[in-house]
Amino acid sequence: MQQMEDWLYTGFIVLLALVVGYIVYRLAFAAIKRIVYNVDDKGRAIVMRLRLPLAFFFLLISFFLIVPFTGTMISDSAHLSHISSLVVIFSIAWLLIKIISVMKTLAVKKYDINTSDNLKARKAFTQYNILERVATFIIILLAVGLALMTFEGIRKIGVSLLASAGIAGIILGFAAQRLIATVLAGLQLAITQPIRLDDVVIVENEWGWIEEITLTYVIVRIWDKRRLVLPTIYFIEKPFQNWTRTSADILGTVFIYADYQLPIDALREELKNILAETDLWDGKVSVIQVTDATERSMQIRILVSANTSPRAWDLRVLIRERMITFIQKNYPQCLPKSRVELNPAGEPASLH
């Protein structure tokens, strides 16, 4: 009979602890919703991600704060005390990670990275994403360390290693110096931002967009849908081209080689017609210049501007195709050619 009463009393205390935890969770979550909802209605879906870790956290806290002081059958268990410590540590870590994720999402949701002029958005997304990963890494590292320290055997080993910590630190430093350098390079990218998300870059002779930046690697989405994965330290140590470092606007060049007889003014008029018929041009830069002259042809450079690098690429392709068609149709004799001069005997005398 006494054992039955003990079980009933234990069950009642556990149920009471869970009820108290649930009430505290509902009050805390209601306060969070009121704060965020008043700021922006779009924050509702974001805050909902906190429901599960917040409920788990308050239920655990109430359980492990109330039960050990009630004199129940499970309050004197050494195993319960150890398990409770581990569960609380990891529940707090889980809640902190979720809170950081929600704060990051709330911070960047006012930026639209899909607009043409998205420099500020790309800067914000890059900084917050990397800082979120850094904070998550630190929280997980601390949680695992605290959890291991709850085991008596591991704690004794840690104390015994303090005497040789200097030697162990040197060995670990040499073994992990590459990893440490890579992680520090990721932090440097977050602070200095030589690259940002959605930047247009030329790396390893490949043209593409920065798709993802982590603490240890960067993914470049190449124009043909391949992915180039590079360590973060690459962008600190090696040169690369960033076409959208300060602005999404970009200049595009088209080179045409033609005979000296081709009238440049005719090309300028044709360029005006081409640009007037397309929305790829942003209306800022439109220039045609003869940039070189060789013994066989002249080099004509067409310089135009566009809002983004993909539009600049399409504009360059369009102008190149239309100009070649224009020369073929109206001035076929002005295509690049080689001249042969014949002597009176009918044999070639020279080749130009």
Per-residue pLDDT, 138: 82
Amino acid at 131: L
pLDDT over 50 (residue 162)? no
Q: Which of 146, 32, 162, 43 is nearest to 87 (CA)?
A: 146
How many Å apart are CA 71 and CA 223, to the nearest integer?
68
pLDDT in tens, 198-250: 788 889 888 888 888 887 889 998 878 889 999 888 888 888 888 777 666 67
Neighbours of 20 (CB within 10 A): 17
How many Å apart are CA 306 and CA 308, to the nearest integer?
6
Per-residue pLDDT, 326: 93
* pLDDT range class, residue 139, cuts 50, 70, 90: confident
Residue 270 contacts residue 326 (beta carbons within 8 Å): yes
Q: Which residues make up the CATH 2.30.30.60 domain(s) of the chain?
A: 118-247
- CATH class for the domain made up of 250-334: alpha beta
Q: For the residues 272-300, what does the mean pLDDT come to?
A: 89
What are the structure tokens assigned to 34, written together?
A: 């009121």
Percent of the chain with pLDDT over 90: 12
Q: For the residues 180-192, what does the mean pLDDT come to?
A: 75
Residue 306 contacts residue 254 (beta carbons within 8 Å): no
What are the structure tokens assigned to 83, written together?
A: 């398990």
Instruction: Say which CATH topology domain 118-247 has.
Output: SH3 type barrels. (2.30.30)
Per-residue pLDDT, 44: 61
* More confidently predicted of 247 and 278: 278
How many Å apart are CA 22 and CA 217, to the nearest integer?
42
- Burial label for 146, CB within 10 Å (0-12, 13-18, 19+), is middle
Q: Which residues make up the CATH 3.30.70.100 domain(s) of the chain?
A: 250-334
Q: Which of 337, 352, 326, 316 is nearest to 263 (CA)?
A: 326
* pLDDT range class, residue 71, cuts 50, 70, 90: low
- Is 327 in a helix, a strand, or coil? helix
How many Å apart are CA 122 and CA 120, to the nearest integer?
6
